[in-house]
């Protein structure tokens, strides 16, 4: 294992995960199964023990294409599953019938069983709600999750794309049931997208959730102007991002050159600098993308650099309500 990989507790739990989480969204649609296997093997070699996926990844409704790829990789044995902290998600549509999406107790149960079959495992280390379900009461959701935990099919429960209020609602409801509740939140967070600093990050701090930022490089845009169009949203959307934010990106690249680091490394290091962040989710399409990500772990950002980054990419001004009120 790569000696330089740090590991951090996931929120308030005793579980230790790598400071980078391997996101698998590209496995299947953009990365072949053979290449995905090589990336996962290399991740373990580098000390990355935290893998994130979702039942809807692969984008072929109901197939769970990406989960199937992970399952076949685990089936090769040699301790692959035991060494992996495995996270997947539930919410998205897995069929056209009424109860094949969202967070009803029926769908949570069926979706968990289906994920376990595809992943060829008997348990999920972290089962994440992919989105909040405003139509399902927390009592129903937590009862379903409690059963899965009691059955040994789920170890921890997390959220994704929740607001701060949802985190509070969820964990207060869990506390009333004497249940551990949410231990992590997976949110959009990068130098461009800082809205969660208002409410979500304070909620994570208050309730002891580990923050798992997704799209920490803004779909590749923060890799620099030359590399921005290579991200998973390459094409017209990438060009719109470049056109809209060219000035910020030019200033960002100049700052990175000044401090002697690549833009992608600085952007990842900035996310890692936040003490609430457990692990940003990196989504490599190639082995090279994976190994390059490790450079961010060596980047130390001084106060002057952090101040300049705030000038280029101003956030909301801190936590609410001070960010907008006296």
Helix (H, G, I), strand (E, B) or coil at 17: strand
- Exposure pattern of 148-187 as b/e (b: 16+ CB <10 Å)? bbeeebbbbbbbbbbbbebbbebbebbeeeeebbbbbbbb
Assess whether 57 carries a catalytic annotation.
Answer: yes
Radius of gyration, alpha carbons of the chain: 19
Helix (H, G, I), strand (E, B) or coil at 316: coil
Token digits for 122?
């008997």
Listed in sequence order, the DSSP H helices in the chain are 33-45, 65-74, 105-119, 138-150, 164-176, 200-207, 236-259, 263-273, 287-293, 303-312
Q: Which among 222, 308, 307 is positioned nearest to 265, based on CA atoms? A: 222
* Rounded Cα gap, residues 61 and 116, in angstroms: 17
* Rounded Cα gap, residues 190 and 216, in angstroms: 5
* Rounded Cα gap, residues 324 and 316, in angstroms: 8
CB 87 within 8 A of CB 124: yes
Half-sphere exposure of 309 (CA within 13 A, CB side): 21
Q: Are strands 7-9 and 16-18 parallel, antiparallel or unpaired?
A: antiparallel
> Which residue of the set 57, 156, 189, 207 is catalytic?
57
Residue the block writes with tokens 């969660």: 196
Enzyme catalytic residues: 57
């Amino acid at each position: 294992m790569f000696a330089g990989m740090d590991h951090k507790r996931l929120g308030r739990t005793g579980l230790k995960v790598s400071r980078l989480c391997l996101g698998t969204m590209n496995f299947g649609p953009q990365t072949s199964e053979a290449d995905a296997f090589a990336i996962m093997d290399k991740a373990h070699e580098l000390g990355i023990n935290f893998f994130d996926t979702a039942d809807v990844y692969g984008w072929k409704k109901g197939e769970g294409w990406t989960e199937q790829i992970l399952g076949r990789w685990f089936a090769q044995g040699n301790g692959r599953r035991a060494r992996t902290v495995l996270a997947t998600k539930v919410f998205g549509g897995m069929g056209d019938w009424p109860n094949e999406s969202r967070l009803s107790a029926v769908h949570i149960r069926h979706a968990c069983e289906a994920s376990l079959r595809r992943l060829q495992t008997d348990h999920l280390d972290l089962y994440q709600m992919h989105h909040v379900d405003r139509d399902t009461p927390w009592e129903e959701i937590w009862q379903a999750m409690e059963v899965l935990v009691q059955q040994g099919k789920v170890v921890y429960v997390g959220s994704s794309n929740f607001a701060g209020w949802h985190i509070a609602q969820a964990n207060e409801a869990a506390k009333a049931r004497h249940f551990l509740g949410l231990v992590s939140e997976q949110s959009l967070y990068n130098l461009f997208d800082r809205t969660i600093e208002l409410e979500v990050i304070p909620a994570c701090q208050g309730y002891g959730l580990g923050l798992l930022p997704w799209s920490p490089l803004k779909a590749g845009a923060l890799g620099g102007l030359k590399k921005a169009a290579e991200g998973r949203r390459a094409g017209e959307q990438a060009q719109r991002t470049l056109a809209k934010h060219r000035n910020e990106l030019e200033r960002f690249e100049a700052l990175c050159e000044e401090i002697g680091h690549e833009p992608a490394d600085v952007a990842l290091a900035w996310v890692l600098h936040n003490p609430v962040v457990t692990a940003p989710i990196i989504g490599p399409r190639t082995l090279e993308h994976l190994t390059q990500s490790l450079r961010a772990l060596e980047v130390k950002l001084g106060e002057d650099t952090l101040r300049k980054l705030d000038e280029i990419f101003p956030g909301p001004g801190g936590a609410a309500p001070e960010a907008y009120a006296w």
